[in-house]
Amino acid sequence: MNIETKTAHFTNPLYLESGRILEPYDITYETYGLLNEDRSNAIWITHALTGSHHAAGVYADENKSGWWDGLIGPGKAVDTEKFFVICANVIGSCFGSTGPISEDYATHKPYRYKFPVITIKDMVKAQRILLDTLGIHKLEAIIGGSMGGMQALQAAVDFPNLAKKVFVLASTHATRPWAIAFNKIAQEAILEDPAFKQGYYDPAEIKAKGLVGLAVGRMAGHISFLSPDSMDKKFGREYKRTDGLYELFGKFQVESYLEYNAYNFTKWFDPLSYLYITKAINIFDLSRGYDNLEEALKAIKSKLYLISFKSDMLFEPKESKEIYDLMQKVHAKEQSDYLEVESSYGHDAFLVEIEKFEDYIKEALNG
């Protein structure tokens, strides 16, 4: 599979939903496959909270594949022999696109808290500008899960003539208190960690040593990505064989798993980016600027495919079903479709149980 990673630099101002301006700014993106002659075979992939532009394939010098590699590639549901696929790192993130730790051109120092609050709408707007510079004005589809699903929904409303089809997985039209509460734990843990230094930490030091506050917050977040059943199946009540049952700090396997993943995470994801992106998720509301959600959904012209997962505790199936029911009310019935996937895995099923929905996406794309 042909993988190309590039960074686009923009000098024109990006007018943000908050009223502030970001300029200049960069967007790092990755493409797979080839764009056809009339530029009509493009698919836009949008990533979740800690995702990046590296959605598929394996780099020559690494073993780890892209985060949605099971879905994207030659002969897969999103077939790169047929489609030209593009995935961009959102603004505010820490994988090449401009974010809070990027250099402010006016001071030549990292933005840190001077970086403006970014919304899902802003992320989508910046990526649409990227598509325009690439000469891509029509898409076969937009596909995203979780925060990526928020972006896909926002794009469907803001740019109704852009995509034929829009796939929204494990997402919502407005973040509910349950999800905001998990994000609050992470935000508070980061802010109260002395090593965070009120946002004036050395990124190289965090990358080398990690950040306890971010690790604690990530543990809380990780719990929301799973489900009680998936934890039972994955860990049961297994105890670490090297620890004594009556040692105060002896651990169950689930505790070791959370520690290992969370502390490793802090060495590759920036804490300020985590604060900014969770803020964007918390304030996401598709109906902002409209009288209500129904009015926002009336703007959609794409065919909307909504996929939820039965055991998802972060964005419950009823949240996708609410969007579907309103779509059925305000549009022709064939303009939207809904699939609730039988799964006990939890929210992250959209990343790990691809076999349960890949045929649905493949048939919709080829249909």
312 as an active site residue: the answer is: yes
pLDDT tens-digit series, residues 259-290: 999 999 999 999 999 999 999 999 999 999 99
pLDDT tens-digit series, residues 163-184: 999 999 999 999 999 999 999 9
Distance separating alpha carbons of residues 203 and 199, to the nearest angstrom: 10
232 as an active site residue: the answer is: no
How much is the pLDDT for 97? 98
> Residue 96, by phi and psi: left (phi above 0), alpha (psi -120 to 50) or beta?
left
Assess whether pLDDT exceeds 90 at residue 103: yes
Band (pLDDT 50/70/90 cuts) for residue 88 is very high
Domain annotation for the chain: domains and CATH numbers:
3-175+285-366 (3.40.50.1820), 179-279 (1.10.1740.110)
Averaged pLDDT for residues 94-101: 98
Residue 73: beta bridge partners? 79
How much is the pLDDT for 302? 98
How much is the pLDDT for 151? 98
Sign of CA dihedral 216, 259, 71, 335: negative
347 as an active site residue: the answer is: yes
pLDDT tens-digit series, residues 309-327: 999 999 999 999 999 999 9
Sign of CA dihedral 157, 161, 163, 165: positive
pLDDT tens-digit series, residues 179-201: 999 999 999 999 999 999 999 99
| Helix (H) / strand (E) containing 303 | strand 303-309
| 252-268: b (≥16 Cβ within 10 Å) or e | eebbbbbeeebbebbee
How much is the pLDDT for 60? 83
Distance separating alpha carbons of residues 311 and 54, to the nearest angstrom: 27
Q: Residue for token digits 């489609």?
A: 83
Lookup: tokens for 137: 């004005």
pLDDT tens-digit series, residues 50-85: 999 999 999 988 888 999 999 999 999 999 999 999
How much is the pLDDT for 1? 81
Distance separating alpha carbons of residues 215 and 212, to the nearest angstrom: 5
- Catalytic position from the list 93, 146, 311, 320: 146
Assess whether pLDDT exceeds 90 at residue 8: yes
How much is the pLDDT for 62? 81
Lookup: tokens for 250: 């002896």
- Catalytic position from the list 312, 337, 343, 348: 312
How much is the pLDDT for 61? 81
- Catalytic position from the list 52, 308, 347, 348: 347
**Residues with Cβ < 8 Å from 37, sequence gap 6 or more?**
none
